[in-house]
Amino acid sequence: MKINNKGIIFVISAPSGAGKTTICEHLLKNLNNLKMSISHTTRKPRTGEKNGVNYYFINKAKFKEMIEKGDFIEWAEVYGNLYGTSKKMINDLLNSGNDILLDIDIQGAKNIKKIYKKSVLIFILPPSIEELKRRLQNRNEEPEIIQKRLNKVADEINEYKFYDYLVINDDFEEALKKVMCIIQSERLKIKRVSKNFIKNFLQ
Ligand code: 5GP
């Protein structure tokens, strides 16, 4: 039974290579009432990525038009591409009674927290920089991209204090369990329990 009627926004950020995407996929499979927000981006789809599933892939002109129309709750430039979370996506998911999972970068996480004070920010890190390097090299990314990502990590790691939770992805199963525990505990917080819960319970 769902005991809170207001959806919770969970934001997950991590340097690429920390295992965030796989963790998000497993969370969606394992937890009820949790839906992923699909961002808009000007980045080109990678092999296997589908429009409307991984992202809404749009061109720069369309993205700029959406910024001007105020369609985004937050947007940011990451590695030269634009990424944004649409207001409609968030409102539709919250109105349908679901909690939302946002896989966005630190700039986006900060903006979401400003707007939704009760959102929950989770930061995922690999066990070490060496391990991160190794994971990125295994991904077949171009050396230039890997270097760009590694350069960004130092800035990103300094921002971890801004988040509510820190999970180190050393062992995948353990890390997944920890993130699931965070979500379950947040859902059970008394401050989030719907006022109607007691009323309905006594009826
Ligand atoms: P990728 O291109 O690897 O899918 O994502 C690159 C980065 O952009 C990741 O850190 C991801 O979390 C971030 N990102 C994806 N969508 C959004 C969004 O809507 N807003 C912001 N601020 N960052 C996003």
What are the pLDDT digits (tens) for 147-201?
A: 888 888 877 888 888 999 999 999 999 999 999 999 999 999 998 887 788 888 8
The pLDDT value given to residue 200: 84
Q: pLDDT under 50 in the chain at which residues? A: none
Provide the mean pLDDT of the chain.
92
- CATH classification of the domain holding 153: 3.40.50.300
CB neighbour list of residue 66: distance below 8 Å, 6 or more residues apart: 40, 58, 72, 84, 86
Tell me, what's the pLDDT at 196?
81
Q: Is 109 in the pocket of ligand 1 (CB under 6 A)?
A: no
Identify the pLDDT of residue 8: 96
Distance CA 109, CA 64 (A): 21
Cβ of 126 closer than 6 Å to ligand 1, yes or no, is: no
Residue 3 covered by a domain: no
- Please give the pLDDT value at position 167: 97
- What spacing in Å lies between the alpha carbon of 104 and ligand 1's midpoint? 5
37 close to ligand 1 (CB < 6 Angstrom): no
Q: Is residue 4 in some structural domain?
A: no
Residue nearest to atom 12 of ligand 1 (CA): 104
Residue 103 C-alpha to ligand 1 middle, in angstroms? Answer: 6
Burial 50-67 (b: 16+ CB within 10 A, else e): eeeebbbbbeeeebeebe
Q: Is 86 in the pocket of ligand 1 (CB under 6 A)?
A: no
pLDDT for the residue numbered 136: 82
Q: Is 202 domain-assigned?
A: no
Residue 45 is given by DSSP the state: P
Helix (H, G, I), strand (E, B) or coil at 194: coil
Confidence at residue 162, expressed as pLDDT on a 0 to 100 scale: 92
Residue 193 is predicted with a pLDDT of 83
Report if residue 2 sits inside a domain: no
* Domain-embedded: residue 185: yes
Q: Which atom of ligand 1 is nearest to the CA of 39?
A: 19
- List, in sequence order, every residue forming a beta bridge with 13; answer none if it has no partner: 123
Ligand 1 center–CA 105 separation, angstroms: 5
Is residue 1 in a domain? no
In whole angstroms, give the CA distance from residue 136 to residue 56. Answer: 25
Nearest CA to ligand 1 atom 24: 104
**107 C-beta closer than 6 A to ligand 1:** yes
Q: Are 10 and 119 in contact (CB under 8 A)?
A: yes
Residue-level pLDDT at 17: 81
Residue 142, pLDDT score: 79
Is 10 close to ligand 1, i.e. is its CB under 6 Å away?
A: no
Could you tell me the residue range of the domain that residue 54 belongs to?
A: 9-197
Structural contact between residues 9 and 90, judged by C-beta atoms closer than 8 angstroms: yes
- Expressed in angstroms and rounded, the spacing between residue 49 Cα and the centre of ligand 1 is 14
For 7-118, list the strands marked E by DSSP.
Answer: 9-13, 34-36, 40-41, 56-57, 72-78, 81-86, 99-103
Q: Based on the structure, what is the number of domains in the chain?
A: 1
Question: Which ligand 1 atom is nearest residue 15's CA?
Answer: 10
Tokens 């996480």 appear where?
A: 109
